[in-house]
Structure 1
């Protein structure tokens, strides 16, 4: 796994714009090298701000969106279209504004989807979709960029401190009893996160400063899951000044 690099921006607006520009460059480079690109989205305030900044940027036209696979790192297990779902925010901020191939937008199942309220079956369905994307040659694709927000408690995706999902070998798990509502979620696990070429940890605001410090200090993942957010080739902690204030 790669060692983290830290890049600090003035505030959340500057951070969102810079990450959006970086994402355009990374996707364009992946397409130039391999023909296609795959990205993993995150929700939360800064994750959605990045997508909104990209949606408003003319540079988005430099991406061939028909050759982009879009995945999610986690999702709240709620009905389709619920305002709290990461997918809903991503569609409003960016996905409905660009010419994506609908078959390559891989939303995590909703609680009114084909598995109904069976979150374990829904997680297994998403794991099967990930495996199918690589023809069964591995559990998940080698994502080009995987973005993660971080909570004040140092969680990433829906991997919360002290919870069993931190020790999972499966690429996707159902999460029950999450300390942050809603309690039922679907999440990628560390084996899936570590398959990404690049992992970008996004953090804005003073409330995230302690979690960022733990994520860079070698703290164990049971206490600070963000400490396990690492990419195979590159790991970036993309912060505003407030989130970097304890470094």
Structure 2
């Protein structure tokens, strides 16, 4: 286990149940947080279960109880491809949830596309500037998917970006998973979050879930944690080898 508090594992019977339960958890956390502070900063994730979670949020009656003008949406990583490319996490999130919410455009902090910036480095620098302008928030909830290689955001095992320090966001080249060029929050930025939720489902993830929960720091998924809470929100198949 990693972190100053116990990492908790919450097991659901299926990937669909993970998405539905995580959506409910996110909505309740936003409601509770807005009762004690003026704004909430949420870092969204892509991936199958991540986008299913956002779609479940949009279907929930509880969504209508939230003042979305007080919520800011961010991303853990993004594919450095043209705006409108179906590979972009922000476009999928827009279709699944953000387009249905009364959230001001200035509250949606998208990572730059290759049609807006000449390089991923410049897109990462711009995102770091945006984070600084917003007061470098301690992310209230930071959600992460996890790949079968144990990567989170676009931090890959053995890849230089995983070890990079001193920045909020970085360019990632030669990603083991296509597309090869990306922008990602750094491990430092992720670990500033109050709550880190790793969402994973399926038998293909079982090996790395077990290794991560046993503290194998070769895997970025094992190194992420929140300052208040670290949750693994998984289905039964994903924890079969723990």
Same fold by TM-score, threshold 0.5 exceeded?
A: yes
The Cα of 1:46 is off from its aligned counterpart by: 0.5
Q: What is the aligned partner in structure 2 of residue 57 from structure 1? A: 60
User: Does 1:165 pair with 2:161?
Assistant: yes
Q: Distance in 2 between matches of 1:212 and 1:60?
A: 31
CA separation in 2, counterparts of 1:167 and 1:87? 25
Alignment of 1:124-135 (within 5 A): 124-134=125-135
1:233 aligns with 2:228: yes
Matches within 5 A, 1:30-49: 30-49=33-52
- Aligned position for 1:153: 149
The aligned residue for residue 32 of structure 2 is 29
- Inter-partner Cα distance in structure 2 for 1:79 and 1:130: 22
Q: What are the ranges of 5 or more consecutive residues in structure 2 without an aligned counterpart?
A: none
Out of 162, 178, 187, which is 2:184 matched to?
187
Shift of 1:215: 1.2
> In 1, distance between residues paired with 2:65 and 2:18?
21
| Counterpart contact for 1:197–1:234, Cα < 8 Å | yes
Which residue in the other structure is 1:9 paired with? 12
Structure 1's unaligned 5+ residue stretches are 135-139
For 1:162 and 1:6, the matched residues in 2 are separated by: 26
Deviation at 1:81, TM superposition (A): 1.2
Runs of 4+ in 1 over 4 A off after TM superposition: none
Distance in 2 between the 1:23 and 1:219 partners?
28
Deviations 1:97-139 (A, max 9, x none): 11001101000000001x23x11111000001001100xxxxx
Deviations, residues 57-81 of structure 1 (Å, cap 9, x unaligned): 1111121111100000000001111
Q: Alignment partner for residue 206 of structure 1, among 200, 203, 206?
A: 203
| Post-superposition offset of 1:166 | 1.3
Query: What displacement does 1:94 show?
Result: 0.3
Can you list the C-alpha shifts for 1:33-67, whole angstroms capped at 9, x where unaligned? 10211100000000001001111111111211111
Tell me the C-alpha RMSD between the 2 structures. 0.8
Deviation at 1:88, TM superposition (A): 0.7
State the match for 1:137 in structure 2.
none
**SS of residue matched to 1:195:** coil
- Residues 188-237 of structure 1 show CA distances to partners (whole Å, capped at 9, x for unaligned) of 011100110000000011111111111110112xx211001100010000
What TM-score does the superposition give when structure 1 sets the normalisation length? 0.95
Is the partner of 1:87 in helix, strand or coil?
Answer: helix
Distance in 1 (CA, whole Å) between partners of 2:90 and 2:150 is 22
Task: Quote how far apart the aligned CAs of 1:167 are.
Answer: 1.4
Q: Are 1:24 and 1:62, in contact at CA under 8 Å, matched by a contact in 2? A: no
Secondary structure, in 3 states, of the residue corresponding to 1:33?
coil
> So what's the TM-score if we normalise by structure 2?
0.97
